[in-house]
Amino acid sequence: MSSLTPQLELPVLVVDNAHWQNTASSGKEPQEYSVHTHQGFILSTGSFDFSVPDEMDFHGPNIIQIILGKDRLYAMAYEEDVTEYTVRAGNVVPLYGSTSFTGFEGGEKVILAIGHLSPSSEENPQPKFTVQWAGVVNIV
């Protein structure tokens, strides 16, 4: 007998080219994810190639950003040897004065961005975020 409760299982969203919000690369309109739970979801990154051009000063992503409008920005660390990330309250941290994340609400459009965040420096007084993949999740 399983100890999992069906309503606690989270949907898995697979990071892929079809959902990458980059119309210039394929010429096709990108797909959007839809989830029917407000508890969160699992983001699976294992099958996506986050290759970085040689001229960049980093080797791969280090952050996942979750954007819920202009004033709600959250993040979680991206780790090279991890392929599944649980995106839900308690697993993400607020950025730049955002309120604590308490979950998703029906009707929300969530932007996910995976990339590399470089800290501020003398040359660049603001942190620089280089997007390597971005997708949209509709909470229904």
Q: List per-residue pLDDT tens for the chain, 140 residues long.
A: 445 445 468 999 999 999 999 866 567 789 999 999 889 999 999 999 998 888 888 889 999 999 998 889 999 999 999 999 999 999 999 998 999 999 999 999 999 999 999 988 888 788 889 999 999 999 99
Q: Are 8 and 110 in contact (CB under 8 A)?
A: no
User: Distance between CA 78 and CA 92 in Å, rounded?
Assistant: 11
User: Distance between CA 41 and CA 87 in Å, rounded?
Assistant: 5
- The CA-CA-CA angle for residues 138, 100, 133, to 5°, reads 45
Please report which helix (H) or strand (E) contains residue 25, including its range.
helix 23-26
Q: Where are the domains of the chain?
A: 6-139
Q: Of 16, 76, 1, 70, nearest to 40 (Cα)?
A: 76
User: What's the confidence (pLDDT) of residue 87?
Assistant: 96
Q: Are 61 and 132 in contact (CB under 8 A)?
A: yes
Q: For residue 30, give both structure tokens.
A: 């990108």
User: What's the confidence (pLDDT) of residue 101?
Assistant: 94
How many angstroms from the chain centroid is the CA of residue 27?
Answer: 23
User: What's the confidence (pLDDT) of residue 42?
Assistant: 96
* Global pTM value: 0.88
Q: Give the type of residue at 68.
A: L
Listing DSSP states for 57-109 in one string gives S-SS--EEEEE-STT-EEEEE--TT--EEEESTTT-EE-TTPPPP----TT-E
State what percent of residues in the chain have pLDDT above 70: 91
| Residue range 71-106, pLDDT digits in tens | 899 999 999 999 999 999 999 999 989 999 999 999
Q: Give the type of residue at 41.
A: F
Q: What is the dihedral of CA 15, 18, 19, 22, to 10 degrees?
A: 110
User: What's the confidence (pLDDT) of residue 38?
Assistant: 84
User: What's the confidence (pLDDT) of residue 26?
Assistant: 60
